[in-house]
Amino acid sequence: MKILLDDVPFNSNLYPFGTVKSMVHIRLGILTIYEKWDWVFPGQVLVGSECSDAPPVPGTYRKVPANWIPSAGLLLKAATDPSFDFHEGEGIILDAPWHIFEHNFWALGEDFALITANRLSAALSPTNHLIRPEHIFVEPGAKVSYSILNAEDGPIYIGKNAEIFEGSLIRGPFSLGEGSRVKMGAKIYGGTTIGPYCVATGEIKNSILMSYSNKAHDGYLGDSVIGSWCNIGAGTSNSNLKNTGGMVKMWSKQQNCFVTAGYKCGLLMGDYSRCAINTSFNTGTVVGVSCNIFGNTFPSKYYKDFTWGNEKYIFEKVITDIDNWKKMKGHHITAAEIRALQEIY
C-alpha cells in the first residue's frame, strides 16, 4: 500500500514556502516532510501535486494530509500496522509558515529518534567537550574539533561529511545536514536546523536553513526560516521580538494582509533569495521567492516574489543569477526549476 501525501490544499498556506516546489519538501527537524514518510515507507510515498498527470488508482494508496506531521512513534507504528488510522494520534499541524520554526524544537527530537534507532554513532574527536554524549549522533565522515556540544536540552545530529570548525558552541536540539559546515566561533541555540550543503556561523537560535543556503558570517538569525539556495550577507541580523513586547504580525499571501503570528517571529525568506551585507530585517519580515534585498532605506516587512531592490527582477537575470549561485556549489539551474519560476513570475 502506497502513501499519498495530499499537499494541494496546503501549499499556499505556507508561503513563501511550498511555492517553487511542494510543501512536502519543507525541512522540519532533520528531515523534510517527504523524507519522514519515505524513511518508514521507502519508495512507497506519492505526492498529490507531483502525480496529477498520472493519478494513482483509487484503493492502491492511503491519503494523508501533507500538513499533518506525525510523531516518530506514530510513523513506526503505522509501518507495522496496516490498519492503523493515520488521522488519530499525536503530531502537529502546519497551518502557517511560522509554524515551521515554532515546531522545529519538537521535530528535531522526533527525527533524531527515527533516524538513530538501533544505530551506532561515529566517534568524535577528544578535543571536543560533550555534555550528554549519549544524545549526540555523528554520521560517517563528519568532523568536529575543539567545540562544545551540549545535548542536555535536546539531541544533536551531525550529518555525513559535515564539519563543525573549532571554537563553536552548540546547544541541542540541533541538526547539521550532510556536507554542511559550521564556521569558527559559531553560537547556535536549540531548535536550529542547518540543512544539507549549507554554511552557517554567527548567532543562530530556533531557525531553519532548508538546503544549499549560506549564513556564512556574523549576525543574528532567530525564530526564522530560510529557504533553499539563499544567501545572508555579512553582518545581517533580524529582529524577532517587538520592543513593545506585543504580538508580531506577518504578511499572509493567502489572506492578502498582515495577520497575528505570535510574540516571537523573525524572518521568512523564500527560495533563491539574497540580501546585502548589514541588512537589518524588521520583526516578522516575509521575503518572497528570488528576491535581492539591498538599498539605503530600512527594509520592508514584505517583499513580493522577484523583487530587485525596489524594482521588479528581470526574469532573464533571475535565471542567470540563480545559475551563478548554483555553480558555486557544483550545480546548475534545471529546466524544471526554470519552468516553475516562469509560472510564478
**Predicted pLDDT of residue 147:** 98
Q: What is the CA radius of gyration of the chain?
A: 20
For the chain, domain boundaries? 2-95, 120-310
The C-alpha atoms of residue 220 and residue 111 are separated, in whole angstroms, by: 26
Mean pLDDT over residues 327-332, rounded? 96
Share of the chain above pLDDT 90, in %: 86
**Predicted pLDDT of residue 15:** 96
List, in order, residues 6 or more apart from 186 with CB less than 8 Å away: 164, 165, 167, 168, 169, 170, 200, 201, 202, 203, 204
Judged against a pLDDT cut of 70, whether residue 89 lies above it is answered with no
**Predicted pLDDT of residue 271:** 98
Judged against a pLDDT cut of 70, whether residue 88 lies above it is answered with no
| CA dihedral (65, 176, 240, 154) positive or negative | positive
Judged against a pLDDT cut of 80, whether residue 84 lies above it is answered with no
Specify the pTM: 0.95
**What would the grid cell of residue 53 be?**
498527470
- Which range has highest mean pLDDT (43-52, 294-303, 305-314)? 305-314
Instruction: Report pLDDT digits (tens) over 17-40.
Output: 999 999 999 999 999 999 999 999
Instruction: Report pLDDT digits (tens) over 305-315.
Output: 999 999 999 99
**Predicted pLDDT of residue 2:** 87
Instruction: Report pLDDT digits (tens) over 107-140.
Output: 999 999 999 999 999 999 999 999 999 999 999 9
CATH number of 120-310: 2.160.10.10
Instruction: Report pLDDT digits (tens) over 201-214.
Output: 999 999 999 999 99
Judged against a pLDDT cut of 80, whether residue 55 lies above it is answered with no
Q: Quick one: pLDDT band at residue 56, thresholds 50, 70, 90?
A: confident
Contact 203, 187 (CB under 8 A): yes
In degrees, rounded to 5, the angle at the alpha carbon of residue 132 between the alpha carbons of residues 131 and 138 is 95
Judged against a pLDDT cut of 70, whether residue 82 lies above it is answered with no
Query: What is the C-alpha end-to-end distance of the chain, expressed in Å?
Result: 38
**What would the grid cell of residue 149 be?**
556540544
Give the three-state DSSP class for 288: coil
Average pLDDT of the residues of the chain: 94
**Predicted pLDDT of residue 297:** 82
Interstrand relation of 231-232 and 307-308 (parallel, antiparallel or unpaired): unpaired
